[in-house]
Amino acid sequence: MSFSHFDAEHCFINKFTTLIAGKWKPILLYLIQNDINRFSLMMEHVPNISRKVLTEQLRGLESDGLIYRDELKSKAPKVVIYHLTEKGEKLRQLVDEIIRWGMTYDKEEVPDEMKKILDSDFAQ
Amino acid sequence: MSFSHFDAEHCFINKFTTLIAGKWKPILLYLIQNDINRFSLMMEHVPNISRKVLTEQLRGLESDGLIYRDELKSKAPKVVIYHLTEKGEKLRQLVDEIIRWGMTYDKEEVPDEMKKILDSDFAQ
DNA sequence: CGGAATCCGATACGATACTG
DNA sequence: CAGTATCGTATCGGATTCCG
């Protein structure tokens, strides 16, 4: 078994982690997965993120082909909706699994309130 | 459904990605999972990593409780072996799943040689 | 063998003000 | 509404040298 291929650029696990590298990208992906898919909505739901950084992270996800911008052609108030691309959809399941792992990883750290939210998010 | 809890520190998906944040941490975890578990071994298998950075990343994984240092009490040539902790073991399956995702994510990007290596790694 | 210490440059992140 | 533009800070990764 050779690991010489596992440099930072070509290792598969790093392929994943570099795709979602960035303090907010994972959250943003998760939000978009759940239709929190507009700039102002994300600003509301993500505390303490600046406009600049939000823009940067979204652009990063876009240039990695995980999301795309749907800019509606209305005049006055600009409307932009973000969606997962086909590539991004392939991440959905993995993202969900990571959240499930987070819930069982350190059970005492999960506040009850959060458990309820997550249960209602994923149960159906 | 509320997402107000999904700040960078408490979001579960970010809990994961911050644990393994760092250019080499994912690879190092994977190597240790597969018993490439000594400083010099890792230096060989990870191209272009410096001693300093390797040390830092290992210390990071250690202080996050994912690995522990087993420093053998031999005299002259120091021997240190890294192992997964119980906490780290809980990541093993997820790490493997991410690698599998990587293999199917962009099939044309996977060189045949790599496929064989991965097949033999995981088949049994 | 397995580090520690120092220095340095490149990003990444953040606060703020302005705009089509 | 959904961004730019500018500036400042901090953290990270890398090269090198020295050590028990």
What percent of chain B has pLDDT above 70?
A: 80
Residues 25-84 of chain B with CB under 8 A from chain A are 26-27, 29-31, 34, 36, 45-48
User: Average model confidence (pLDDT) for chain B?
Assistant: 86
pLDDT, residue B2, reads 52
Is this prediction's pTM over 0.85? yes
| Domain spans of chain B, in order of start | 8-122
Q: Which long-range contacts (CB under 8 A, 24 or more apart) does A104-113 make?
A: A104/B90, A105/B15, A105/B87, A105/B90, A113/B5
Query: Is A75 in contact with A50 (CB distance < 8 Å)?
Result: no
**What is the arithmetic mean of pLDDT over A82-100?**
94
Question: Which nucleotide's C1' is closest to B55 (Cα)?
Answer: C3
pLDDT, residue B122, reads 45
What is the CATH code of the structural domain delimited by A8-122? Answer: 1.10.10.10
